[in-house]
Structure 1
C-alpha cells in the first residue's frame, strides 16, 4: 500500500484496462476489487478465473495474482487496499472467524447485479471523495462490515468461474498466429474434445463460440497488417 494511503489504512485505485494493472504480485494487506465494466482473466494461485462486470473479490495477503486480457475484451476495475487490523477488527465485531476466509485455495467472490451493483459501486467510489486520514477510515468502516458479511456467507462464485486447465491451455495456444490462422479444426485438435463440448465450454466461460473467438483473432491480426502496410485488403481477406 502506498505511504500516502497508510494514514487512512485504506487505499483506493481506479484502473482502466489490464495494461494499467500490476503483473503477478502479492501484498501484505487485504484487498477488495470490483469489476465496473468489461471482462478479463484473473490468474490467481495457479488457477484462472473469468472476471465479469459486477464481480466483487476479496484478496487475502497470501494470494498471488494478476490480470490478463480475455481475447479482445478489456475491463475497468476498482481496487481497495485494506490494512490487516481493519479486517481483524471488523471480523471480531461481527463474530466472524477470520481463519475461514483463508481456508479455500481461491479468494471469496460474489456477484452483484441490478440495483445492488450500482449501489455498491457508488459506495466504493465515494471512498475517493473522502479526505485521506480519519475521514476516509471512518467512512470505510461504515460500509465494510456489510461487505465482509456478504463475503463470509454469500460467497459462491469462485469455483464456478475457474477455467478448466485444458480450456485455459487451448486459449493460450490459440493466441499464437500459427494456430488461429488454421481455424476451428486446429482448435479442436489442440483441445482433444468434441466440437460440441468445446463450444459449450467456450459459451459458458467466455460467452462466445470458438468460431467467434477465432474470427476476432483474425480480424485483429488483419487490422495490424493493414496498419503496418504489409499487405493490401484483398491479401488479408484470403489469409
Structure 2
C-alpha cells in the first residue's frame, strides 16, 4: 500500500501555522500516510485501532496521541464501532518554538525519539476540559488568524506540559505498581468524592505509609491529591453546567462550602463565582 505524504502547505490555509479539524468518523480520515508537520489527536467518542509505525495501538474515548513527522499511521475500525476525534496540526517551527519556550527543564527525548508516538488516556474530566478548549477556538478567534494562532499555541504548550512531560517522567520514575493502580482508581468520581476512606480501601495501606509514599513521589499529601481531583471536577462543572455553586461543592465531595471556596481560590486564583462570570463574559463577547 502506497504511503501518502502530506505537506503543511496543502493542509493549512495561507499564513497559518496550525490547523484544527473535528473528524466525525475514521472513514473520513486519511489512509496510510505521513506528513511534514506535527499533530495531536484526541478521541472524543467511540474506539478504534491506530496503526502506527507497523504497530497497533488501541484508542478509545479520552486517548490523546502526539504524532511526529516521522510517524506513518492510519486507522482501523474496532468491532465496527464509530470513532470521533479532534485533530490539531502544527508546523515544525511552532513545535520547536514551544519546546524552546518550555526550556531545558522539559525533557523531550521520549516525546521526539520513541518508536511509537506518545499516547496517554485522559480522565473524563480532563478530556471534557480539553474538548471544551478546542471547540471554543473558532468561537473566540472570530476568524482572526492571529488570535487563532495564539489560542492554539497556548493549548499546544499546555498539552506538552500537562500530559506528555508527565508521560516522560513516568517512564523514569520508580512509582510502585500498586500506587500507579491507586492513582488511576482515584480518578473515578465515586472514589475521589469518597476521599481518604476510598484511598485506604483501594490501596490496603496504612495512613502513615500512604503519607510517606505520596510525599516521596508526588510531593503532596493524600488529602491534597484528593482535593486536586475534586477541584478539577468542580471547575469542569462550573464551565459546562448551570448547577449552583453549593451543589457543585457537594457533588465534588466537599461538605463545607467555605472550605471549598478557600481551596478553589488558592488553586485557581479566582473564586467559583468569578470563574463562571469569566466564562459568561467570554461567551457573550463571542456571540
Instruction: Please classify the TM superposition score into its range, dividing by the shorter chain length.
Output: 0.5 to 0.7
Give the drift of 1:68: 0.7
Instruction: Describe the SS at the equivalent of 2:13.
Output: helix
1:177-225: CA deviation from partner (whole Å, max 9, x where unpaired): xxxxxxxxxxxxxxxxxxxxxxxxxxxxxxxxxxxxxxxxxxxxxxxxx
Counterpart of 2:71 in structure 1 is 63
From 123, 135, 145, the counterpart of 1:125: 135
Give the drift of 1:123: 0.9
Work out whether 1:136 is the aligned partner of 2:151.
no
Conserved 8 A contact 2:33-2:73: yes
Conserved 8 A contact 1:26-1:64: yes
Give the drift of 1:87: 0.8
Work out whether 1:105 is the aligned partner of 2:129.
no
Task: Give the number of aligned pairs.
Answer: 157
Give TM-score, length-normalised by structure 1: 0.61
Distance in 2 between residues matched to 1:146 and 1:106, nearest whole Å: 21
Give the drift of 1:6: 4.6
From 138, 158, 161, the counterpart of 1:146: 158
Work out whether 1:116 is the aligned partner of 2:126.
yes
Conserved 8 A contact 1:5-1:132: no
Q: When you count helix as a share of all residues, which structure comes out higher?
A: 2
Work out whether 1:46 is the aligned partner of 2:70.
no
Alignment of 1:157-176 (within 5 A): none
Gapped regions of structure 1 (runs ≥ 5): 158-239
Give TM-score, length-normalised by structure 2: 0.51
The Cα RMSD (Å) is 1.9
Give the drift of 1:74: 1.7
Conserved 8 A contact 2:40-2:89: yes
Distance in 1 between residues matched to 2:95 and 2:84, nearest whole Å: 25
* Structure 1 residue ranges (4+ consecutive) displaced by more than 6 angstroms after TM superposition: none
Conserved 8 A contact 2:12-2:18: no
